Structures are given as C-alpha cells and as structure tokens.
Structure 1
Amino acid sequence: MNDMTMTAAVAHPLPKAPFEGRHLIDGIWQGSADGATFDRISPSHGVVVSRSARGGTAETEAAIAATRRAFDDGKWSRATGKERSTLLLKVADLIEANVERMALLETLESGKPISQARGEVAGAADLWRYAAALARTLHGDSHNSLGEDMLAVVLKEPIGVVSIITPWNFPFWILSQKLPFALAAGCTCVIKPSEMTPSTTVMLGELLIEAGLPAGVVNIVLGFGQPVGALMAEHPHVDMVSFTGSTAVGKAISAAASKTLKKVALELGGKNPQVIFPDADLDAAADAITFGVYFNAGECCNSGSRIIVHEDIAEALVEKVVALSRKVAFGDPLNPETQVGAIISPAHQQKIGAYVRDAVASGAKLALGGEAVHHPGLPGDFFSPTVVTNISPDMPIAREEVFGPVLAVLTFKTLEEAISLVNDASYGLSAGVWSENVHTCLAFARRAEAGTVWTNTWMDGFPEVAFGGFKQSGQGRENGRYGLDEFLEIKSVVMRIGKTRPNWVATDFRND
C-alpha cells in the first residue's frame, strides 16, 4: 500500500437492478429458448451488474440465418453509399447522446475507470463517422488501356455475412473498429460480445434499431465461446470471421474457419517494446512508459509491457518510472480521479501475480509492487503498479503477454542488439522508439517487426490510420481504408465492346 496512490471509494449510486440483456435476432429482442441466463458480477464493486440471456446452438443458428437472409435480399448489401453513410452518422450521434449510461455499465462490468470508459464510448463515435465517410467514397477501378475493343472494371463488393467476436477489455471501442466498417462495405453481421462485458453491445443494438437499420442486418447473440463463438466461426453460411482476443483462441478460430475456407481477420496479443536511447527526452519517455503499462490496468493488447533501455541510462530511467508509478491513481473506477481500476477477475489477477513470482524466483528484481492489493472501501480485485528489473530475455515475463500493470525492464548496448531483442518475439503488434535523432528513429521503424511503430510517443491512434499486427499478433487490419478493404471482395468484369470476338474454331471450310 505504501508503494501506490489509492483513490477513495465514492458514493456513486449503483443501478437499482441488473441490466437485462437479450439476444437481437432478425430485429426482435428475445431470451433463450431454454430460459438460460448468466450474471456478470462487477470486479470492482462485487454486485450483479448485468443478467444476460445465455445463447446456445438454437439462438446462434437463428441469428446466422437472419444475417444470411438480410444479406441475400439486398436491403443493405445493395443500398447506396449515401444510404449506408447516412445511417452510420445517425448511430454516431446516438452514441454521443448515450455516453453516460453506456460508460457507467462498461465501468461496472470491466472495472476500468469511468473517465476512460467515457473516453472510449465517446471516441468510438468518431470511428462510426469515419466509416460513414468511407461508405460514400467506396469505389473500384477501371482499365481503359486494354485495346479499343476491350474495357475492364474492378468492383469492390461486400464479402457477405460476417461473424464479429469481441473481447472484454475494450468492448465498445473494439466493436466500433469492426462493425461500422463492415456495415460501410455492405456486409451483414452477427455479433458475440465477451460474456464478461456484454451490455454495451446490447445498448448499441438498441441504437441501431433507433437509427433505422433494417431488421436482420445486425444480430447479437449473448453467451460463451462454446457453443456460440465456435459455431459462428465454423458455420458454412458465414463468409468471414473478425475476432479480437487471445492468440490461443485466434488459432482455434482459424482452425474452425478453415473447414469452409472463410476469411479470418484476427487482432491478437502483443508483448510491445519501447526502446529508449541515451539521447531521448527521459522525462517524456518515463511518462509515456508509465501511461503505456498502466492504462486500462495493463489489460490492453497495445500495453507497453516491456522497455528495452540503453544500459547507460537504465538506472536513471527506472528511477523516474518508479517515482511516476507511485503517483498513478489506483482505486475506485467510479471515482473520476482514478487512473487504474480493478482487474477483470480473480483468476486473471492470480495469473498476473504468477508471472511476477516466477520472474523473481528466476533472479529478477522488484523495483516496485508485485502483489495483489485490497481496497479499503471496495471488495474488488486490484493489483499494485509493478516494475521488474534484472530480467533476461528468455524469462516468460519478458516474452509472454501478462495483461496486467507489470513492466518488464531489459537493457541493450547497441542498435543492433535492441532490434534483435525487439524482433525476438512471437508477437509483432506495436513498438516504440525514443531518440532525438531522426535517423535512429527511422532506422528502428523500418526494421522493427510490428504493425505500428510509435516514435517519441505511445498509443496515439486515429480512425484514419490502420491498426494490426505481424506474426502471432494477428492478420488483417482495422481502421483506415485498409479496415474497410478487409470486408470487401474483388471482382473483375471484362467486357468486349463493338467488335465481334475472333472465332477460335474456324467456320469457313469446305466439305471435300
């Protein structure tokens, strides 16, 4: 407790009753046929915050069938870009009008600070607006240089029915990196949110209906990976799966989808390094490192969970990061001053602690923290800000995704050694470099095996800029025009104009 700043619990009125979540199938809200439900207990406040219908095979089959019918009848897939764009803009406006109630529920289900939940929901509206712009500007290509009697056009058409499976750490933001782009392309979608954070997806379904989206274009099934997620991944009437989550589950989805060779887009794990050179602005780097590892309690695929710092400045930088870490406000997620909230579950908290204990047993040093913390005014699960030094590159804490507020510190001597440490990983989601020398930054950016490279900053993102990973961090891209392209098929149309096609078989011959 002496190593951290803890914010007080606040007297925020909790919901009088759990949020009731139901499936959305063909425009109708409904419970499960067998009446099954599941509860979500808030990881910070220990109360039942939502009660959701628990979907099974019957609900999943019905949702996929509705999604297929909606695509095939063309009410959305053949709508104009203007029509799609207009609806997406309406949804963006409705999201902004509902930020408070959505953010409260997301905070209670996930344990993240209310200020960050507000930012996530409000910021997602910008993704919908950007996708709306793409819907209006979507176009193919033409080839007018194939000869005077030939013309070819390349069409971009919606891929079809898309299964969208989202995680618990940024449930609304990650859904908004997928769904509006799929809708802009003309796809129809069936969605399964995480069973730990289902409610903002249900709320979005309400907004889609209010905005006038035709029935069946978006369907929502609540439940667990088995059977809902598995069936969404392997079903023959699904043309594509877009998944964000762990690398292990991503591999299972790829295997299931391979039975029908459907397209798969995956945004998976990361063990993201920041490399700090001696000429870096250490104060700016230390603040960004602190933000990168504690934002969303480190439960973030882009978490800057390892730093690779030049040995000449390692001690000074670690001292700055430890000092800043002690000032980061951990505590009640409903307190607007809180910067780091509760861990998603007791099981995940134990997993975080196990990584730290294993590292220390292998010779690593604890510069700060390293243990679970009990809040004096809340029953939830918290983990202290943790900085681990004296780490060797082969330790699990240096190579695997801890997904918690734990920073692993490694050192290097040369640029070549730093690049080697960065790329000696199964992941390749993001990386960062800190140096005042533009040549150093550019050399690093070109050689780092990562989908995003930040220079002298961390985790700045924009709807216009593509996001996704190398290696086992996934395949495909979200956001930007590339994010729209993921949901499109390419069709070439080749036309002969005017002249008759030359015969292949001769017709002018004599009967001898």
Structure 2
Amino acid sequence: MSDLNVVSISEAKLPAEPFVARHLIDGDWRQSADGSTFDRVSPSHGSVVTKAAKGGARDVDAAVSAARLAFDKGRWSRTSGKERATLLLKIADLIDRERERIAYWETLESGKPISQAMAEIEGASDIWRFAASLARTMHGESYNSLGSDMLGLVLKEPVGVVSIITPWNFPFLIVSQKLPFALAAGCTAVIKPSEMTPATTVILGELCIEAGIPAGVVNIVLGYGDPVGTAMTADKRVDMVTFTGSTGVGKAIVKAAAGTLKKVSLELGGKNPQVIFPDADLESAVDAVVFGVYFNAGECCNSGSRIIVHEDIAEAFLKATVDLSRKVPFGDPLDPSTKVGAIITPDHQSKIDKYVRDAADAGATVHLGGEALTVPGLAGQFYQPTIVADVKSDMPIAREEVFGPVLSVLTFKTLDEAIELVNDADYGLSAGVWSENVHTCLEFARRAHAGTVWTNTWMDGFAELPFGGVKESGQGRELGKYGLDEFLEAKTVTMRIGKTRAPWVA
C-alpha cells in the first residue's frame, strides 16, 4: 500500500447534526405513518449522517393517491409545454444555486469524491434544461394523405403516474435522467431513492416545491425496496415504472409489474469491455482505462472493468496501466484532490474482495491491489486499485459485475476474436474500441452488442444522446428525445371530413 497515492483525512468538517429526511406526499413533508425511521452511516467516515423516515405500504398508498389525483385532475398533464419548460428551468437554476449543498450530502452518503459530486450536479442541471427544451418542442403527427375526406392525427400524451426507483451510486444524477423527462411529458411521479442515499432526492423535492410544482405532481417515499419499491411497482394506479439498479432487481420488477401490464423501463448492470488494438494511441487509452475502472470506485454500471488488449501490446499496456493506477488519489472523499472514495457498504467491500480472491485461486494474476485500503484518520471502508491479468473468459471476474475498482485484463489476436469476447456476455450496456483505423472502429461499433459504443474515448455523455442497454442490461432509453418518448403514449385520431361515409346498411 505504501506505493499508492492515499489521501488522508481532509480539513472539511462533518455535519454537526445528521440530515433529517422525510417523505414528500401531496406537497407536504411527512413522517412515516407508523413513525418508523432509519439511519445512514457514512461509508467513508463511519458516522451517522442521515436520519430518514422509513416508509411502508400506507405511505406508498398516500403518495400514489396524490399522484393519481394530480394527474387525473390535470394539474400538470394539461399544462402547456411553455409552462412545463418554465418550471423545469427554474428547478435547473435552483440546482445550480444549491450545488455545493447537494454535492456535500451526496459525498457523505455515497462516499464519492466531492469534486466528482460537484461535476455530477452541474451535469444534472444541464439535463433539466435539455428536458425543458423538449417540453417546448414535443409534438405529434398529421397524415393528410389518407384521401380527400380523411385526416389522421397521432397525439403524444403522457403515460400517467410513474414510479421512479433510483440507485445509490449516482442518486442525484440518475433521478435527473428520469424525473425532468417525465415532467416534460406531463406525467406525475412517485420517487423512491435508495435507502443508502436519500438526502439529495429530498433536497430536489425541496427545490421542486420552491419552483412552484403543483401538489401531488412530485412525491417522494423513503425506505427499502421491500415494502416501498414493491408497492410502487405492483399498484394498479401506477402506469409505468422506471428503475435503475441491479439486473436481479430489474427482473423482479418486471415480474411484479406483470400483474397490471404496466410499462417498464430498466437501466441495469453491465460488464463493459474496452478493446485496445496495437495501432491505438496507447497513452490516451491507458488514461481512459484507468479512469473507466476507478471512476466512482468502480461502482458504476458503465465501469470499464473488462479490458481486451491485443497480445502484441498486452505486456506494455499492462505495465503502463499499473504504473498510472499507483498515481490515482484514493482516500477521503471530502478532499477536493481525491479521485476515488469509499465503498458503499462493508458487505459490498467483501463481495468485491471475493471476486479478486476467487480469480487468483483460479489461476489469474493480481498485478496491483487486491485487498482493503487503510486511509489514516477514517473509519470507513476503502478498496485498493486492483488489476487482475491472465483472466479467462469463463471466470466470474470476467463475466459478472464486480462493481468495484477492479480491472480484469484479457487478450486477443484478431478483430473477430475480440468481437466474440465482447459479445460473450449476458450484459450489453456499453463497449469501447481504441484504434487509429476508422474502419476498425466502425466495424467494431456495428458488431458490438451494446447500447453505447465509444471509440477512442470512454464514458463521455451528453443530454442529447440516448443511454440504455441491450440483453440483461435493460430495456428502454434515457436522455435525448428517446428519454422523453419513454413517458409518452401514442394516440391515433382518425377524422372524416364532412358526411362522406357510405352507409354500411343500405
């Protein structure tokens, strides 16, 4: 550990009192119906940072009732695109105003670096502004080619009440990939953030109220997946569920939603490969690989945790990656210089470590890390930057989502072999290719089974471009105009002009 870049405890102060989080239901902040609460302990500092209301079935029922009434009464669904856009822009401005506060609490609850959290909040406000632009430009279609006496219209209407269930790894960013698009479409919402990171979603609720969102349009119920998420999924008054999280939970949501045949949108796991060809810009590729696997401590669905490097350059590439990994600042997430913070829970840290140990027992070689990281002055859990080579494609570390700062390295000889390795996975969220040959990049992009393909870069994202996966990485899309379409239904209106219809019965 002595040759790693470890950032000890910073001078930033912990809060004097924990954040108090309550449910937002029908425009009011409420405790749980049964008075239950739960605590969130900071994964980096080991102290209680949030005290939250612990929701149950009665709280979900009240929130869904409020969202259903608000939608059916047209408090939001019948407003104009201009009105919706104006409010979304207000919320974006308020997010910018509260950026430091949001980032602070997100860092304490999730363990991610404060500098990263600040950047994510900035990105979130940009998404709200993009969604506002869609609210103004949303439109249907007309068909004037059906005959002289017919006119066809396709109306785009909001799907209705949406349950939004978000994860702990990007709590503010991911709710901002869902809620503003639902609101732009005219939907009402019930949101459940992860029980590990409730604070920033509650802050977003405060900003929605301050901006003037009508009561019942945005509701928040805090608590655990069972019973809160289960009730939000199965309730027949809910028209759609959008969920980001593990593939296992996503499958359970599909089953729970099947009883009412509601619409489901899922953004799930990934085992995302980057393929490095011999003609790649190796310095840029190494930097992107290091970024891709350690960003957010690897607790990222887009983590570039599976590297497939050409055997001619594998040894040199591995050495450069190990050398650069030693320089990445791991440690106290409240220090602005830190790039990798804490692991979300002790149980998850143990899961990460088991993947590494099992791979080593199966014949893989650990070239760096492979154990917990001690950060002086901090009581939380951290894991060393870890690189595992000599990995075989059938090893769990090469096929399953480790969700930690662990890089698996495989090798290939030909493009066809690389594509076979890329597609030999249950997941299909994202993939990357590094080559100076545009023909190689284009062929890879067309043949890789993934919702996003990056060429000579990794994890660049834009509000304008859709995001989502294939296979067990999910269904549906977020962001871009496709992200708005998820929350819309098409309604056909067929109009006869004048009394020209011939009688069916003479």
TM-score (norm 2): 1.00
5+ residue gaps in structure 2? none
Other-structure match for 1:101 = 101
Equivalents in 2 of 1:33, 1:365: separation in Å?
53
Deviations 1:356-386 (A, max 9, x none): 0000000000111100112111011000000
Equivalents in 1 of 2:388, 2:438: separation in Å?
30
5+ residue gaps in structure 1? 507-512
Equivalents in 1 of 2:250, 2:175: separation in Å?
16
Give % identity: 72
- Does residue 210 of structure 1 match 2:210? yes
Task: Measure how far apart 1:3 and its partner are.
Answer: 4.0
Other-structure match for 2:373 = 373
The correspondence of residues 77-116 of structure 1 with structure 2, limited to 5 A, is: 77-116=77-116
**8 Å contact 1:7–1:329 — kept in the other structure?**
yes
**8 Å contact 1:3–1:369 — kept in the other structure?**
no
**8 Å contact 1:3–1:368 — kept in the other structure?**
no
Other-structure match for 2:195 = 195
Task: Measure how far apart 1:331 and its partner are.
Answer: 0.4
Other-structure match for 1:497 = 497
Task: Measure how far apart 1:35 and its partner are.
Answer: 1.1
Other-structure match for 2:167 = 167
Other-structure match for 1:484 = 484
The correspondence of residues 280-429 of structure 1 with structure 2, limited to 5 A, is: 280-429=280-429
Deviations 1:467-510 (A, max 9, x none): 0001000000000000000000000000000242111111xxxx
Other-structure match for 1:510 = none
Equivalents in 1 of 2:499, 2:40: separation in Å?
68
Equivalents in 2 of 1:24, 1:311: separation in Å?
55
Secondary structure of 1:409's partner?
strand
Equivalents in 2 of 1:201, 1:192: separation in Å?
9
Equivalents in 2 of 1:318, 1:3: separation in Å?
17
**8 Å contact 1:273–1:430 — kept in the other structure?**
yes
Secondary structure of 2:191's partner?
strand
Task: Measure how far apart 1:122 and its partner are.
Answer: 1.6
The correspondence of residues 18-57 of structure 1 with structure 2, limited to 5 A, is: 18-57=18-57
Equivalents in 1 of 2:340, 2:423: separation in Å?
30
Task: Measure how far apart 1:123 and its partner are.
Answer: 1.3
Equivalents in 2 of 1:270, 1:464: separation in Å?
22
Other-structure match for 2:449 = 449
Equivalents in 1 of 2:133, 2:102: separation in Å?
25
Equivalents in 1 of 2:371, 2:504: separation in Å?
79
Q: Which residue type is aligned with residue 336 of structure 2?
A: P
Secondary structure of 1:309's partner?
strand
Q: Which residue type is aligned with residue 351 of structure 1?
A: K
Task: Measure how far apart 1:2 and its partner are.
Answer: 2.4
Number of aligned residue pairs: give it: 506
Other-structure match for 2:75 = 75
Deviations 1:432-483 (A, max 9, x none): 0000000000000000000000000000000000000010000000000000
Equivalents in 1 of 2:451, 2:42: separation in Å?
34
Task: Measure how far apart 1:4 and its partner are.
Answer: 1.5
Other-structure match for 1:59 = 59
Equivalents in 2 of 1:35, 1:73: separation in Å?
30
Other-structure match for 2:261 = 261
- Aligned CA RMSD, in angstroms, stands at 0.5
Secondary structure of 1:501's partner?
coil
Equivalents in 2 of 1:33, 1:486: separation in Å?
33
Deviations 1:12-47 (A, max 9, x none): 121110000000000000101211100000000111
Q: Which residue type is aligned with residue 42 of structure 1?
A: S
Q: Which residue type is aligned with residue 211 of structure 2?
A: A
Task: Measure how far apart 1:312 and its partner are.
Answer: 0.3
**8 Å contact 1:386–1:407 — kept in the other structure?**
yes
Secondary structure of 2:15's partner?
coil
**8 Å contact 1:189–1:218 — kept in the other structure?**
yes
Equivalents in 2 of 1:2, 1:428: separation in Å?
37
Structure 1 segments (4+ residues) deviating >3 Å: none
Secondary structure of 2:468's partner?
coil
Q: Which residue type is aligned with residue 129 of structure 2?
A: R
Equivalents in 1 of 2:99, 2:401: separation in Å?
31
